Structure formats: C-alpha cells, structure tokens
Amino acid sequence: MCGIAGILGHCKDRREIVRAMVTAIAHRGPDGEGIYDDGLAALGHRRLAIIDLSESAAQPMGNEDGSIQIVYNGEVYNFEELRAGLLEKGHRFKSKGDTEVLVHLYEELGENFVKELNGMFAFALWDSRKKKLIIARDRFGQKPLFYAMAGEALVFASEIKSILMHPGVPRRVSPHAVDTLMTINFVPAPGSFYEDIHRLMPGHIMVVESGSAPKIRSFVSEPPPRDLKISYEDAVQEVDRLFSAAVQRQLVSDVPVGVFASGGIDSTLILAKLRDLGKQELSAFSLGFHEASHSELPYAQQAAKLLGTPLFALMFDAAGLREPELLLNVFDEPFADIAALPTYALARAARPHITVALTGDGGDEIFGGYEHHLVAYWIDKLRLGRKPRAAIARGVANLIPIDVQFRGYLRTLKRGFEALGCEGFQESTRLIRASIGPRERARLYTRDYQQLLGSADPWGALLPPHAEQLESLFGIGHDRIFSDMFLMKSDMASMAVGLETRSPFLDVPLIDFAARLPIEHLVGGVHGKKPLRTLLARRVDQSLADRRKMGFAPPVDDWLRAELAPLLQDTVLAQGALVAAYVERAEVARMFRDHRDRKANYRRPLWALLLLELWLRRERAHERAHLGDRDVVSVSSSQPAKGAAKTAD
C-alpha cells in the first residue's frame, strides 16, 4: 500500500509540483519515493513496502522498454495466479510483488485488465507510445483516488492534500457538500468539499488520450440475480470455504500482520480462521470505552481467550475527541463518522507492532447485518398494505418512551418500528441512516442557504436504482455509504500512520457467491448475517454468535453534554461562527440545549457542525494568508458543486 500522485499535461515546474504532492502524503509511504517524468506525464509514488521489500519492487515501475509506467496503491490478492499465466505467455519479471503483474497484464488485455483483479487498488498507468493515461479505483472503493483540472492539466492523487499542492487547482468550497455532510455525515463520490476536486467512483476507470477529454466508465457488472438454488447448510459450508481462502490470500506479506478485533462477529471469525490456519500467534488489537454500554472490548477479550490469540487492548475516552482538528488533517475535509478518531487511535497504537491489519469490513454489507436490512426484510414480509402496516408499526413505536433513545437496543427497536411504518424501502432507509431529516433541515438552514439548495436532494445517487426491490438493499454493489464512508475511514485513518488494512470479506469470489444467495439465507427473525452466526457458533461460541450488533462508536452522546460541551460553545455556538453562513444560530443553540437536557439526541448533527466550523476556519485562514480577506464561506457568492448530485459519468 502506498500513496500516488501525478499530472498529465504541460504545466510549469511539473516535476517539482509532483515532488511536493508526494511529500504531502509521505505518511502513506514512509519506505521510499520515486518520480517519473517524460515531459508530458509525471507520476509520483510514496512506498509502503509490504511484498518484496527489495528495490526491484520500487515505483514508478515500467515494462521491459519503459514505455509503460505505473504508480499503484493497494494489494491484488490473486497476483500469483495472474503472474503464472503471464509467465506462460512469455512475460518476464524483475520483481516478486503484484505491481509488475499489472503492467504486463495491461500489455496482454489492454484497459480491461482491471476486470481480472481481485483486490484493493488505485493506480495510474501511463502508456507513452499511445499517449494514454489510465487511472482506476477498485470495485468497492477500498483505495481512494481524487482528481482535478489545473487549467488544461489533469491532476490526481491518493488524498486531497496532495491535489492542493498544485497551485493551479482552485480551493473553492462546495456549498452543496454542507447539506450532504449534515444529512449523511460525509460527501460521497464523485464530489468533495472542494467544488473543483472530485473522487473517482468505486469500480470506475478514467481514460485520457492525447487531445481528448477524459472518459470515465464503470468496469463492474451489475449484481447477479439472487436465484441460486442451494440449501442453507450447503450455503454455510461454501461461505466457510470461500472465507478460508480469502483469509489465506490476505495473509501474504513480507512484514508483520495482525487483526483489528472489535469483538463482533466478523473480526472474531477472522481470529477463528487464523487458528484453523495455524496462525493464532498473530496479534489482535482492540479498542474499548470506559462506558460499558458502548464497549465491545470484553467480547474481544473473550474471543481472544477462547482462540488463544494475543490481544492488545486500548481504552479511548472523551480526551481523544478534544482535538477534532486531527480529523481535518487526516481527511482534508469535514468527515463526521464518529468512529473515525477511535479508528485512528487504534491504528496508531498497532503500528509499532504490525504493518498490515485484517479487518471485518464488509461482513454486514454482504450478509445483511444492519438494521435497515432487517426493516426492509420485514416490510417485504408483512404484506398488509402500507396503511394498516404503518398504523400498527407507529402504534408500537409510540409505546416506546422517548427517553430510551439513549439506551441502545430499545432505541434501535423504536426506530425500527418507525421505519416499518414507512412508505417503502427508500423512505425507511433514509429514516434509519440520515443524521437529520427534511423537517430538521428546514428549521436548521438559513433562508439564503435553502434558496441556494433549491430542490437538491442530499441523497443524490446514494440510494441504489430499483431501491424498492428488496434485493437491491443487500450486498455492496450499490452501497455507497459503505464505500465512501466506512472504507474511506478505514483507509485514511490507518494510512495516516502508515498501516495497511485488508478486508477478507471483500474477497471477490466470496462476494460474488453471497450476492446470489436467497435473502432468507441471510436474514431471519431479529438477526441478519445468518451464515456467519452459524459458523461462529460452531467454531467459537454460541453466546458470541447470538449477540446483537453494537457498532464501533464512542459514547459521544454523553461527551457532548459534558467534556466536549465547552468545545461546542467555543466554536459552533460562538459569536462569529462561520457555520452561520449555512445554519441558524438560534436553532443550533436549541439543538444543543435539547441534547444537553436529554430531550433529543443530536450527537450526529452537532459533531458534524463542529467539524464544519473548524474546517471553515482553516480554509478562511488559508485564503487570508494567500489571497487577503476574501470571504470564502459566503453562501450568496458560492455556486453549486460540480457533480455534487450526479454520477461522474
């Protein structure tokens, strides 16, 4: 895993700019640096050495005559099979890693070689003979890739901070991104918080040929129908076989490997597989909270003890959130997933011991482990008609008193019954996953900001096509929240300390099999992830398999009422707060009071506003340092972000 950057097109001081771009992301690759520049294309690379630690594997890497060059970030887990096939066809290799395989595979298959890759990647490949640049991002979005235009030149990099090192890239704030942040706590591809900087969509490839505009297309096929005729027991056995193969593939490394053990089903299954493979000596790392209602650490300790796995435990408290500016340094934009700082803290604690960590990312998405999966399943099953179903569901929801919003299981139950009363899957998904809804947005946003937004939908293309079909809500193919929030968090937080994370559940054969399983094999009763629960009960412990999902999030609810309250008052609630360009200060103050007094739970919008305020202050300081006192947050002078509510292609 590494950091990449580059420029295609003529611009002054191109090589020096690329060097500054890779220096800005040196944390992603502390083991080396390389630059290629032929006068038209410049590619930069920062290396985190994982497989083949020799100089033969350094990047940029070329073919035999140097006409093809690549900078690459990620791991391709089937590289050994691909390499063997290329050797049979006469290709010769100087290194033992996966990077060179991509170069020769392109020589064989052209642009479509990306379809053969089982892994996580973001790369830029330059074919100097054809004057063609190809940049691509893996099908699930595990590796980030940003791009922008600087005049006539295309600029690309692993992180926004690298893009901003190019002096020709505008630094304009996207006002539509504020609405998206407040609604879902992050900005999905193809947008960003900068109007002129875009993310390449997961599973997409951009091709730029000399004299032509960039062409972006998906290289991923539509998910197959869930028509596999298989018994539940046979399905469990096949999941077990494919998962074992995935874990074994992802253990390939020339540096120390460990596991992030949350105590949940997915990471515990990884620990069980390590035992089966005779690798139980690999260390696990877990993070807990002093508040028992939020901490899964005891379950991680229980699993480690049962499986004989060494476990390092880290405790996280409110002091860890007192420097939210750290998140801005990591993500370069407001990113309001509450678990981001604990994830960073865990990676930082693990880094002195390991360079690669296996994670349980993807298990919930593939096997239906979330609340919205259960709600959609029961909406489909309870074919009473919307009105009687809604009446029953809302009646039950009203019986659950509002103060239990602060007690995890009953809060989930109340929200679940409210969702059962929704019109359909789209409405229920918005209710469950949104930070604020339409009514809160109408009260919170200023009149000027509402006029600028018009009828724009912050969900944009986040909900899948055919979202009223139950099958469309299962799997990863259309789950942009997973790709653009959860996987972005995992990559950026870990690579900030030079640690690579790998996700066995995102192995392509496993996902392709799970995508064809009938929904009834995934969800039933009050639980999702049926095959994984079955395997965990058989291999480890029934009590761990029967646990409800907790999630990896600190008790920010209470911390915002106590330890973090002064921070809110000094920023979001202060006179002259920059967020006042978008939100009504009186409404923000009311939200804070109601949250403090436990009349409502506004932890997500309050945390998002805090990060937004700090980011706007940073942007204003930068603009004043470089451009004088120009106002960079005025809503009336801003334009809608390009691509903010539409796909890249």
Residues belonging to the active site: 2
Separation of alpha carbons 414 and 424, rounded Å:
17
Which of 50, 308, 18 lies closest to 163, judged by CA? 18
Alpha helices (runs of H) in 290-435, residue ranges in sequence order: 297-307, 325-331, 340-350, 363-367, 371-381, 386-399, 408-420, 425-433
- What's the CA angle centered on 313, arms 310 and 316, to 5 degrees? 165
* Cα–Cα distance for residue pair 400/328, rounded to 1 Å: 38
246 within 8 A of 505, measured Cβ to Cβ = yes
CA-based end-to-end distance of the chain: 27
Separation between Cα atoms, residue 407 and residue 20, nearest integer Å? 49
Structure tokens at 115: 């379809």
Helix pair 371-381, 408-420: axis angle to 10 deg: 40
Local structure of residue 387 (DSSP, 8 states): H
Q: What's the gap between Cα 73 and its chain centre?
A: 16
- The DSSP-derived string for 413-452 is HHHHHHHHTSSSHHHHHHHHH-SS-HHHHHHHB-HHHHHH
Determine phi and psi for 200, rounding to 5 degrees.
-70, 135
Nearest to 547 by CA among 321, 300, 190, 356: 300
Structure tokens at 200: 């390449």
Residue 300 near residue 360, CB atoms below 8 Å? no
The SS3 of residue 409 is helix
> Cα–Cα–Cα angle for 577, 579, 585, nearest 5°?
75
Q: Strand order in 257-260's β-sheet? A: 311-316, 284-289, 257-260, 356-358, 500-502
Gyration radius from the chain CA atoms:
24
Tokens of 226: 């869930």
- Residue 65, judged by CB atoms within 10 A of its CB (0-12, 13-18, 19+), counts as exposed
Dmax over Cα atoms in the chain, in whole Å?
73
- For residue 506, give both structure tokens: 């995102």
User: Rounded to 5 degrees, what are φ and ψ at 647?
Assistant: -75, 160
Which letter, b or e, does each residue of 436-461 get, where b requires 16 or more Cβ atoms within 10 Å of its Cβ?
A: beeebbeebbbeebeebbeebebbbb
- Element holding 144 (H helix, E strand): none
Cα dihedral sign, 289-291-297-301: positive
Q: How many residues does the chain have?
A: 649
Amino acid symbol at 139: R
C-alpha–C-alpha distance, residues 85 and 145, integer Å: 29
How is 93-108 classified by DSSP, letter by letter? Answer: -S-SSSHHHHHHHHHH
